[in-house]
Structures are given as structure tokens and as C-alpha cells.
Amino acid sequence: MKKILITGGAGFIGSHLCERLLNEGNEVICLDNYFTGSKQNIVHLLDNPYFELIRHDITMPFFIEVDEIYNLACPASPIHYQYNPIKTVKTSVMGAINMLGLAKRIKAKILQASTSEVYGDPQIHPQPESYWGHVNPIGSRSCYDEGKRCAETLFMDYHLQNNVDIKIVRIFNTYGPRMHPNDGRVVSNFIVQALKGEDITIYGDGKQTRSFQFVDDLIEGMMRMMQTGDDFQGPVNIGNPGEFTMLELAETIIRLTESKSKVSFHPLPADDPIQRKPDISLAQEKLNNWHPSINLEQGLIKTIDYFKTLLEL
Ligand code: NAD
Ligand code: UDP
């Protein structure tokens, strides 16, 4: 039985990871400050004697003995990470330093939840890991993008300088049950709007693209990455290469929910990337032929069911 620390474990992705790692027979310690996560996401795990919950902010040092650390703590939705941008940078950078220091001391493996945002508004499409990105260092998304880029730098330097066993995954847009209904990300916004019969809010002309991955596929990819040998650190893209415009996403969600909602157009937020799609050949090669197994419609149906229950519809 391994002891595994998950920072940000009460968030959307973290709660799925806690559940899966417990199901596979591990002892899981979930650390969270509940900024964007909630106890509700992990309440069903509290009866499990191998599950432990700790309220803590990773910008402060933390001491524990574990075998593996998954570092997920960081607000991920633009409205949340822009709410207190300085705190977002601190969470990514000071949080990484604290968790890497811990990993170094206790000789634990540590995985960083990085992001496709390190590619910024990409000028190479699809994005391979070798692409250095196109990021505005002083814009409204910079606290998140540059914080995550600096965290990657710290992970690589702790590996090169102190031989810490690190893993970096670059996560592309992920959706699924337990997304917060008000967190502002596009999949949850559109589903909630469609279910309530409200206008679907398209930012810009809706022709920008994203590649959406169902959360279960991501969890499988992250766990496979953690189990790779010490000759592979990444970064590795984990995402679903299916690429859709926001208009296509809106149409699909309206159809699947049988909603009468219409689309309405709103200003595009600053620095909103025009296109995004992962090149996943490295993941396929290094992660035992990992590839997404759930397509957009299948994943949306599961997510719509979740929101129907949540909204009591
Ligand atoms: P989320 O907001 O649901 O989860 C983040 C969790 O971190 C929350 O529970 C929050 O309370 C916690 N947290 C935030 N700041 C903290 C701090 N200082 N100390 C302790 N806990 C803190 O978001 P998510 O979608 O589950 O994202 C999880 C991770 O995956 C994040 O690091 C995010 O950057 C990364 N990621 C997510 C996506 C995506 O599409 N969901 C894409 C790329 C990367
Ligand atoms: N978006 C939209 N309507 C919304 C929320 C988001 O059109 O109600 C757009 C947003 O401008 C972006 C895309 O959907 O182009 C994805 O946004 P999200 O915040 O989910 O993720 P990110 O921009 O970080 O990829």
C-alpha cells in the first residue's frame, strides 16, 4: 500500500484522483484550502479509513511522510485565477517550492499538474511538447500561464540539481462531473445554461477551438505518468485531440439536452487563445499507448446527467 499526497484533492480533478487511487488500494491524503474545491467533492470518501483530509494552503510549508505527491493545488478557471492574481502566482511558485522541498527531503516521486496554457495563444498547431509557446507575460492570464511555466522550471531544476524524481503533465481542457456549476469554464457554463433554458454565452465569434478531454481519461494518463521509470520526466501532453469550435460545442450541448436555449454573443476576453489541440504522440509512446477512450458526446452525456442531478432537474 502506497501513501499518496494529493494537493488540490478537493477540487474537480483532484477528487476523481483521490477516488481512483483509493479504489486501487492506496492510502490517500487529500490537502486543500477549499478556495475553489469543496468538501462535497470528497464527502463520499470520508468513511474510508485509508482516506485523510487536511486543510492547508500550499504557499506555506507542509511536512508529511509519503511515497508519491500529485501537485494539483491551483485555481484553474479564468474567473477564479484572475480573482487574486498575486495569490495565483504564489500558489504555483511557492507551492511548487514547498512541495519539491518536501519531495526532496522524503525522497518521494512528485507529479506536477501543468497545463496547455504554457503554450499560450499557440502559433504551432497541434502543440507538441517541444513547442516553447507564445505567452503574454503581463496580461490577465499571465498569473496562471507564467506561474505554471515557472513551476515547470522549478520541477526540472529540482530534478537536475537535486535529483528529485519529478513528472510533468500538461493537461488540456478537461471536463466532467464535479466541475463547479459557477466556475465559468465553457463546458459547465453551456450545460447549466442549456438545462436552465438560458442563453448560451459565446465569447467572441465562437470560432475559437479547444480540445476537450473527459476527466477519467486524464486520471488514467496521470497515473500512468507517475508509474514511468526515472528516465522520463516529461513534460507530456495529456488531452483529447478532437478539436471543436465553441459554436460546435454549444450546438452539441443544445442537442444532447434537448434545450430551447439560443446562443448569444459576448466580448472575447483578453488573450483568449484562438486554437488549441494536443499532439499526443509522446504520451502514446511513453505511457503504454495511452489515448483517450471517451469521445465528446459520450463525456458530455455523463456530465449533463451529473448537472441534472445537481440542479435537481
Ligand atoms: P479546481 O479549481 O477544481 O481544483 C483546484 C484545487 O486546488 C481546489 O480544490 C482548490 O481549493 C485548491 N487550491 C487552490 N489554491 C490552493 C492553495 N494555495 N493551497 C491548497 N489548495 C489550493 O481545478 P481543477 O480543474 O480540478 O484543476 C486541478 C489542477 O489541474 C490545477 O493545477 C489546474 O491548473 C490543472 N489543470 C486543469 C485543467 C482543466 O481543464 N480542468 C487544465 C489544465 C490544468
Ligand atoms: N467561453 C465561451 N463562453 C463561456 C465560457 C467560455 O465562449 O461561457 C470560451 C472562452 O472564451 C474560451 C473557451 O470558451 O475561448 C474555453 O474557455 P474556458 O474558460 O473553459 O477555458 P480556457 O480558455 O482556459 O481554455
Task: Determine the 3-state secondary structure of 208 from DSSP.
Answer: coil
Question: Which cell goes with 142?
Answer: 499571465
Point out the ligand nearest to the CA of residue 210.
2
Domain that holds residue 148: 3-172+215-239+278-293
In a domain, 75, yes or no: yes
pLDDT of residue 234: 97
The pick from 35, 114, 169 for probing ligand 1's pocket by mutation, whose C-beta has the most ligand atoms within 8 angstroms, reads 35
Q: What is the pLDDT of residue 312?
A: 82
CA–CA dist 91, 57 (Å, integer): 8
User: Is 161 within the bounds of a domain?
Assistant: yes
pLDDT tens string, the chain, 313 residues long: the values are: 999 999 999 999 999 999 999 999 999 999 999 999 999 999 999 999 999 999 999 999 999 999 999 999 999 999 999 999 999 999 999 999 999 999 999 999 999 999 999 999 999 999 999 999 999 999 999 999 999 999 999 999 999 999 999 999 999 999 999 999 998 999 999 999 999 999 999 999 999 999 999 999 999 999 999 999 999 999 999 999 999 999 999 999 999 999 999 999 999 999 999 999 999 999 999 999 999 999 999 999 999 999 999 988 6
Phi and psi based region of residue 184 (left: phi greater than 0; alpha: psi -120 to 50; beta: remaining): left
The rounded distance, in Å, linking the Cα atoms of 236 and 310 is: 34
Which phi and psi (to 5°) does residue 124 adopt? -120, 135
Q: How many whole angstroms from 186 Cα to the centroid of ligand 2? A: 5
Q: Are 262 and 199 in contact (CB under 8 A)?
A: yes
Would you say residue 138 lies in a domain? yes
Question: What is the number of structural domains in the chain?
Answer: 1
42-81 b/e with 16+ CB inside 10 Å = b? beebeeeeebbbeeebbbeebeeebebbbbbbbbbbbebb
Instruction: Give the number of other CB atoms < 10 A from CB of residue 305.
Output: 11
> Does 126 map to a domain?
yes
- Closest by Cα among 216, 112, 115, 125 to 171: 115
Reduced to 3 DSSP states, what percent helix, strand and coil does the chain have, rounded to the nearest 5?
Answer: 40, 20, 40
CATH code where residue 284 lies: 3.40.50.720
pLDDT at 183: 87
Whole-number Å distance, alpha carbon 202 to ligand 1 midpoint, is: 24
Q: What is the rounded CA–CA span in Å between residue 292 and residue 130?
A: 21
The rounded distance, in Å, linking the Cα atoms of 78 and 80 is 5
- Dihedral sign computed on CA atoms, order 25, 31, 37, 41: positive
Residue 34 falls in the annotated catalytic set: no
Look at residue 50 and tell me if it is in a domain: yes
Q: Torsion angle of alpha carbons 174, 178, 183, 185, nearest 10°?
A: 30
